[in-house]
Amino acid sequence: MSDICCNALAMATVPIQEWCKPYDWKTALKNGTIFPSLNLEFYKAEQINNPSSAPTGQESALNEISEIGFAINDLTLYLDTHPDCPKGLSLLKELLEKRRTLLADYAAKYQPLTQLSMITGTPETNVYGWAEGPAPWEGGNV
Amino acid sequence: MWSYEKRLQYPVKITKTCPKTAQLIISQYGGPDGELSASMRYLAQRYSMPCKKVGGLLTDIGTEEINHMEIICSMVYQLTKNLTLEQAKTAGFDSYYIDHTAGLWPQAAAGVPFTALEFQSKGDALADLFEDLAAEQKARTVYDNLLRMIDEPEVREPLKFLRAREIVHFQRFGEALEMTKDKLDAKNFYYFNPEFDKAMAVKAK
């Protein structure tokens, strides 16, 4: 930002984030951000690595959708304030492509998570399927 | 327009009933710095924001806060879904039980109902963005306090995720403040209100 902003009285300034190499998507979801520079821990919140047992096929498929979905969420907010960042934009496109495939595969194997995946994942079925499987708030999908 | 994706933003899998913990966490549903308040704040403020990119950011963060509300509600639900009458009586959950059984209702930890008085939409870009920056800090404090008080790992994991999001959102609102300052008179940021004094806002640009 301009020097004038920094010299002005009665005004606050927050530094603009610079691009940094993101975490892998599993680590990103665990830590609540894809950016190591924004991962500011709290001393009362210790790291716990994989407290639950190894996920099953369906659970691990849903976990992957959550990881990619979260990376898209966090990257979207970054791009909202950094619309001219080419690295961010190309990564977003890559992740959106991946998400589309994962959602289609999940719909084909289990149930649709979005209406769009009813045509990308299960175009031939006559089953509506929207109420199939557990509700998101039921905890896990097995 | 919104469309639903049938999953939580962060997985919640709580196996032990604990109405006491539910009663604390419910504050992030209907309390003063809760996720319902957060989503309504940002989604209300965005319409009149003078900087289009800031309106876009408010839409995206406001949307994420709805996801967070769903995470919190899922936690409260799972902590109370197998509640027995005896547990409700002894865990301090009895007064909530009388009015809501084990249904979800937006209230603060101390029982105060959700109210729109807990957030602001001021029609002034600087006032609104400073409210948003403060809101993220206050929500972080609530998550810090919950993490000090709750030991169960399956409850702590989503709380840690939500706490981290408050810090990321603070950073983004800070960047939104910088974008908004670019639209103002740098010698005096308070000379006009860009949401109301539109002719002056155009001139400054």
Other CB atoms within a 10 A radius of the CB of residue A58 amount to 16
Task: State the burial class of residue A129 (Cβ atoms within 10 Å of its Cβ: 0-12, 13-18, 19+).
Answer: middle
pLDDT at residue A142 in the model: 42
| Residue B192 identity (one-letter amino acid) | F
Contact, B76 vs B29, CB < 8 A? yes
Return d(Cα B119, Cα B135) in angstroms, integer. 9
Q: Within a domain: residue B5?
A: no
CB contact under 8 A, B162 and A32: yes
Domains of chain B: total: 1
B192 touching A, CB under 8 A? no
| Residue A137 identity (one-letter amino acid) | W
- For residue B135, the enclosing domain spans 19-204
- DSSP letter at B113 equals B
pLDDT at residue A52 in the model: 59
Q: How do residues B2-25 score in pLDDT, each as one tens digit? A: 999 999 999 999 999 999 999 999
Which of B165, B178, B190 minimises the CB distance to A1?
A: B178
Other CB atoms within a 10 A radius of the CB of residue B2 amount to 5
Q: How do residues B23-40 score in pLDDT, each as one tens digit? A: 999 999 999 999 999 999
ipTM of the complex: 0.96
> How many CB pairs (< 8 A) connect A and B?
154
- For residue A21, the enclosing domain spans 3-40+55-130
Other CB atoms within a 10 A radius of the CB of residue B82 amount to 11
Q: Which residues in chain A come in under a pLDDT of 50?
A: 1, 142
Return d(Cα B39, Cα A70) in angstroms, integer. 18
Other CB atoms within a 10 A radius of the CB of residue B111 amount to 13
Which of B156, B168, B178 minimises the CB distance to A38?
A: B168
Return d(Cα B149, Cα B24) in angstroms, integer. 9
Q: How do residues A86-110 score in pLDDT, each as one tens digit? A: 999 999 999 999 999 999 999 999 9
| Residue A57 identity (one-letter amino acid) | G
pLDDT at residue B80 in the model: 97
CB contact under 8 A, B163 and A16: no
Contacts of A136 in chain B (CB under 8 A): 6-8, 70, 74
Q: Which residues in chain B come in under a pLDDT of 70?
A: 203-205
| Residue A108 identity (one-letter amino acid) | A
Q: Within a domain: residue A48?
A: no
- DSSP letter at A31 equals H
CATH of the domain at B181: 1.20.1260.10
pLDDT at residue A141 in the model: 52
Contact, B80 vs B102, CB < 8 A? yes
CB contact under 8 A, A80 and B60: yes
Enclosing H/E stretch for A80: helix A57-81
pLDDT at residue A51 in the model: 52
CB contact under 8 A, A114 and B3: yes
Contact, B51 vs B125, CB < 8 A? yes
Interface of B with A in 35-64 (CB under 8 A): 53, 56-57, 60-61, 64
Nearest alpha carbon to residue A103 among A140, A66, A56? A66
pLDDT at residue A49 in the model: 60
* Sequence-separated (6 or more) residues with CB below 8 Å from residue B101: none
Domains of chain A: total: 1
CB contact under 8 A, B164 and A15: no
Q: Within a domain: residue A49?
A: no
Q: Within a domain: residue A141?
A: no
Return d(Cα B180, Cα B194) in angstroms, integer. 9
Q: Within a domain: residue B8?
A: no
Report how far apart, in Å, the C-alpha atoms of B187 and of each of A18, B42, B110, B183, B205 are.
27, 28, 45, 12, 14
